Amino acid sequence: MQPALPSSLMCSLVDESLDAVLIIDEDCIVRYANQSMQNLSGYSGEELVGKSLDALLPGAMASCHTGFVRTFTRGEAPSAVLGKVREFAIRDRNGIVIPIEMKAIDIGQHEGRRYFGAFIEDLRPRRTMEAQNAALLARLEQEAMTDPLTGIANRRAFAAEGDHMLVRARRSGAPVVVGIADIDHFKKINDENGHPAGDTVLRAVAQRMTEAARASDFVARIGGEEFGLLFPDTHADAAVGIAQRIRESVAASPIETDDGRLVHATISIGLTQISPAEQLDDGLATADCALYNAKNGGRNRVESI
């Protein structure tokens, strides 16, 4: 059997711990604070020992903490803190409130007085990392749903929005119209003006379509020169009217490219009202047939099935 370690080694463990360690007595007077606790609080060891714990507690906590400790010490109430991992805050020497994680322990009696210890971790680094991770996740989610060229929603976002819209529509019984808009003769636009000019046209068309649609409608780039449209709470006739407005907004004026060329772009749109039993892809297939009719009918047109 190994001989028991001397208590001086245990003391070193606590003295050197990277967690802040604090010991208070039953009157909530600080009796010990290790170096990490001194660093965290901004007080020296001499300043902390003998000080009331209230000096370290923010606002409301300071007024009730001593009462909790007293009722527990007298055996009048259980502790909600001892033996548990809890999040609190402390106030440092400069009055700055620091979020902490605390593991408090009843460490027993010595010469008739009771003592409580706590391991305290500064939560600020963890909170900063959590905030950074949340911001990163939000950015990644945003990027995963956005078409990088035009800045509008992409095909993935369109599918997600369409599915949600159809679930809501099935519940409410409201009609949903789905559409596909396609830039006419876009290959020719690219061939005559160059690919970068084609990109400018795509961006301008996306912007004009989004601006002409209602706030409740959804416009996404779902393919090269193809845009998906969703019109919630809208019957086919009304959707045709909105689609005409969108079509006209694209055709209304030429688009100026970076090298100063003026490109006249038009779009053709195919629409269909999705029946409750249909999925988004069923609606898209029918809208594609309507788009085919619009192209065959001379382009720069809206057709619905």
Catalytic residues: 225
Decide whether 40 or 271 has the Cβ nearer to ligand GTP.
271
5: region left, alpha or beta (phi > 0 left; psi from -120 to 50 alpha): beta
Nearer to ligand GTP, 232 or 270 (CB): 270
Q: Which of 292, 183, 164 is nearest to 247 (CA)?
A: 183
Query: Which of 45, 67, 224, 276 is in the footprint of ligand GTP by CB under 6 A?
Result: 224
Burial 120-158 (b: 16+ CB within 10 A, else e): bbbbeeeeeeeeeeeeeeeeeeeeebbbeebebbbeebb
Amino acid at 156: R
231 forms part of the interface with ligand GTP (CB under 6 A): no
Asked if residue 279 lies in contact with residue 271, where contact means CB atoms within 8 angstroms, the answer is no
Establish if 183 lies at the interface with ligand GTP (CB under 6 A).
yes
Contact between 185 and ligand GTP by CB under 6 A: the answer reads yes
Rg of the chain (C-alpha set): 34
Answer for the pair 155, 228: CB distance below 8 angstroms, yes or no. yes
Which of 184, 222, 271, 272 lies at the binding interface for ligand GTP (CB under 6 A)?
184
Q: Which of the ranges 6-14, 43-51, 63-71, 179-187 carries the binding residues for ligand GTP, by CB under 6 A?
A: 179-187
Segment contacting ligand GTP by CB under 6 A, of 36-44, 62-70, 176-184, 269-277: 176-184
Based on the shown chain and the rule CB under 6 A, indicate whether residue 186 belongs to the binding site for ligand GTP: yes
Residue ranges in contact with ligand GTP by CB under 6 A: 149, 182-188, 190, 195, 198-199, 202, 224-225, 295, 299
